[in-house]
Amino acid sequence: MALAAIKGEKTLAELAQVFDVHPNQITAWKAQLLDGAADVFGCGGSSAEAAPVDLKALHAKIGELTLENDFLEGALGKAGLLSAKR
């Protein structure tokens, strides 16, 4: 809705009628979008750096989930509940 307001193809009154909201709400959302749009694409200078990722823990979790999936696939296959392979 905020993008539609920025495009300017329809008036605020028309957008308010289409989306069943008050025109002041559309104006507020439009302002929020314009103020925060740079942060969405990483252009904001005041954004905090991303936390470091622990790859060892992530790899361990991937291994754990893979084992669980393999176990459950085997159990469902033996029970006749697994109809098709992925």
The crossing angle, in degrees rounded to 10, of helices 23-40 and 12-19 is: 100
Residue 4's pLDDT band (boundaries 50, 70, 90)?
confident
Amino acid 69: pLDDT: 94
Q: Give the whole-angstrom CA distance, residue 30 versus residue 23.
A: 11
Amino acid 2: pLDDT: 79
Amino acid 42: pLDDT: 67
Chain segment 15-74, per-residue pLDDT in tens? 888 888 898 998 998 888 888 877 777 655 554 566 788 999 999 999 999 999 999 999
Q: Give the whole-angstrom CA distance, residue 38 versus residue 81.
A: 50
Contacts of 18 (CB under 8 A, 6+ apart): 10
Amino acid 84: pLDDT: 57
